Amino acid sequence: MIMAKVLVIDDEATIRWAIEQTLRTAGHEVAVAETAAEGLALFRQIRPDVVFLDIRLPDQNGLVVLKQIEDEYGRETAVIVMSAFGEGSCTQEEALALGAQSCLNKPFRFDELDAVVADALDAKRQCSRGRH
């Protein structure tokens, strides 16, 4: 049984691979993208439940991608922003203000990713219930 559809948008191949393998092992369906453009195209195609989004992408800032997702689809998808720049960074504050579900600081523990997805899905369900 597939638990969630997850999209990973990160320009680091090792990060993409590790997240993909970890979450597939946990039963999630995972797609990966290296650039913002590729990520947005995949997002529109598969409409994932959860997106892991790197702030720094080669073709566009991750915050721009987050804003596009929010503008086009609202908060239907839980977006988890990944950054190597520490918790108190302005970028993470901006990401949360733009609608990110949470922020992960790199490096992070891959064995915790399934719990991060579960938390994101739970928050998404609660948000959906609140709208009815």
Bin 33: left if φ > 0, else alpha if -120 < ψ < 50, else beta: beta
Whether the CB-CB separation of 36 and 59 falls below 8 Å is answered with: yes
Where does the pLDDT of residue 90 fall: very low under 50, low under 70, confident under 90, or very high at 90 and above?
low
The mean pLDDT value for 83-87 works out to 67
The pLDDT, as a whole number, for residue 132 is: 44
The pLDDT, as a whole number, for residue 2 is: 60
Q: Is the pLDDT of residue 48 over 50?
A: yes
Q: Is the pLDDT of residue 30 over 50?
A: yes
Whether the CB-CB separation of 40 and 47 falls below 8 Å is answered with: no
- Against a cut of 0.85, is the pTM above it? yes
DSSP 8-class letter at 111 = G
Q: What is the mean pLDDT of the chain?
A: 87
Q: Is the pLDDT of residue 64 over 50?
A: yes
Q: What is the pLDDT of residues 95-128, one digit of tens each?
A: 888 889 888 888 888 888 888 898 888 877 776 6
Annotated domain spans of the chain: 5-131
User: Residue 114, class by beta-carbon neighbours within 10 Å (0-12 exposed, 13-18 middle, 19+ buried)?
Assistant: middle
Of the options 3.30.70.330, 3.90.550.10, 3.40.50.2300, 3.50.50.60, the CATH number for the domain spanning 5-131: 3.40.50.2300
Alpha helix segments (H runs only) across 1-132: 13-25, 36-46, 62-73, 90-97, 113-131
- Could you tell me how many residues make up the chain? 132
Give yes or no for a cis peptide into 58 (omega within 30° of 0): no
